[in-house]
C-alpha cells in the first residue's frame, strides 16, 4: 500500500479506537451509565481492554488470510490501545471503586482468583507496552523481542479467565470471548502444525 493512504487509515483507526473512551466519558458526564456508574465505567473499560487484546491477536491471522501485509503495521497501535484501556480499567478499580484502599486491594489481588488473574494479565502487559518502540525492538533483537511478546497468548487467557470467574452465573458473555480467543490461538496452532498447507491453498485460489 502506498504511504499516503496508509497514513490516513492509521490516523482514522487511531481516532476510532478513542471512540469507546469518549462514549464512556460522555456517559459519566451526562449520567447515562445507570444507577451504578462506577461499576458500569470499570466494566466498560475492562470490556474494551479485552476487545482490543483480541483485535490485536486477530491481526496476524487476518494478514495471513488476506495477504495484506500492511495490516501488520497497525498491530502495535492496537496492542497499545489494549494496554491503554487495561490501564484505565485498573485505575478505575483502584481509584473509583476501591478509593486507594491498599489493604482491600491487596486482599482482592491475593484472595480472589478472578482479580489475581486479571492483575497478572495487566502486569504482563506492561513489559510488552514498554518494549513496543522501534528502539526497544532493535535493542532486544528480533528473536528475543518475539519471544517476549508471545506472552500475549497467556495474557489473553488470563484476561478471559478474569471475566469468566467474575460473572455470577450467566457465562454467555465470557464464553463468547473465550471462543474468539480459542479460534485466534487455534489457527496459530493449526498453522504451526501444518506449515504451509493452508497458506498454499489460499494463495493458489
Partner 1 sequence: MLIRRPADTLPSEITPQAIYRDRREFLRAAGGLALAGGLGLTSDDVAAAKLANTRPGPYSTGEEMTSYKNITTYNNFYEFGTDKADPARTAGSLRQRPWTVQVDGLVRRPGSYDLDALLKLAPLEDRIYRMRCVEGWSMVIPWVGYPLHELIRRVEPLGSAKFVEFTTLADRAQMPGVHAPVLHWPYTEGLRLDEALHPLTLLAVGLYGETLPNQNGAPVRIVTPWKYGFKSAKSIVRIRFVEAQPESSWMRAAPREYGFYSNVNPDVEHPRWSQAKERRIGEFTKRKTLMFNGYGEQVAQMYSGLDLRKFF
Give, as ranges, the residues between 81 and 100 that touch partner 1 (CB under 8 A): 98-99
**Residue 67 CB, nearest approach to partner 1 (Å):** 40
Nearer to partner 1, 7 or 36 (CB): 36
Helix/strand/coil (H, E, C) string of the chain?
A: CCHHHHHHHHHHHHHHHHHHHHHHHHHHHHCCCCCCHHHHHHHHHHHHHHHHHHHHHHHHHHHHHHCCHHHHHHHHHHHHHHHHHHHHHHHHHHHHHCCCCHHHHHHHHHHCHHHHHHHHHHHHHHHHHHCCCHHHHHHHCHHHHHHHHCHHHHHHHHHHHHHHHHCCCCCHHHHHHHHHHHHHHHHHHHHHHCCCHHHHHHHHC
Q: How far is the CB of 39 from partner 1 (least distance, A)?
A: 8
Q: Which stretch binds partner 1 (CB under 8 A): 51-59, 109-117, 137-145, 185-193?
A: 109-117
Smaller CB distance to partner 1: residue 104 or 136? Answer: 104
Measured from the CB atom, is 2 or 170 closer to partner 1? 170
* 195 interacts with partner 1 by CB under 8 A: no
Nearer to partner 1, 4 or 168 (CB): 168
Q: According to CB under 8 A, which residues from 154 to 183 bind partner 1?
A: 165-166, 168-170, 172
Q: Under rule CB under 8 A, which residues in 9-68 are in contact with partner 1? A: 34-36, 38-39
Distance CA 62, CA 105 (A): 39
Would you tell me which residues interact with partner 1 (CB under 8 A)?
A: 34-36, 38-39, 98-99, 104, 107-108, 111-114, 165-166, 168-170, 172
Amino acid at each position: 500500500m502506498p504511504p499516503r493512504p496508509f497514513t490516513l487509515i492509521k490516523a482514522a483507526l487511531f481516532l476510532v479506537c478513542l471512540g469507546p473512551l469518549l462514549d464512556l466519558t460522555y456517559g459519566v458526564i451526562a449520567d447515562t451509565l445507570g444507577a451504578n456508574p462506577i461499576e458500569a465505567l470499570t466494566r466498560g473499560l475492562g470490556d474494551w481492554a479485552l476487545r482490543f487484546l483480541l483485535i490485536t491477536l486477530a491481526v496476524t491471522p487476518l494478514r495471513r488470510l488476506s495477504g495484506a501485509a500492511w495490516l501488520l503495521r497497525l498491530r502495535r497501535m492496537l496492542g497499545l490501545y489494549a494496554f491503554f484501556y487495561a490501564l484505565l480499567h485498573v485505575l478505575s478499580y483502584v481509584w473509583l471503586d476501591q478509593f486507594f484502599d491498599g489493604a482491600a486491594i491487596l486482599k482482592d489481588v491475593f484472595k480472589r482468583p478472578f482479580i489475581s488473574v486479571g492483575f497478572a494479565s495487566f502486569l504482563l502487559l506492561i513489559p510488552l507496552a514498554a518494549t513496543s518502540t522501534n528502539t526497544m525492538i532493535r535493542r532486544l533483537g528480533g528473536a528475543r523481542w518475539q519471544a517476549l511478546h508471545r506472552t500475549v497468548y497467556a495474557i489473553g487467557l488470563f484476561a478471559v479467565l478474569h471475566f469468566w470467574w467474575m460473572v455470577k452465573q450467566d457465562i454467555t458473555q465470557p464464553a463468547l470471548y473465550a471462543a474468539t480467543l480459542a479460534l485466534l490461538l487455534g489457527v496459530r496452532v493449526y498453522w504451526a502444525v501444518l506449515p504451509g498447507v493452508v497458506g498454499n491453498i489460499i494463495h493458489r485460489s
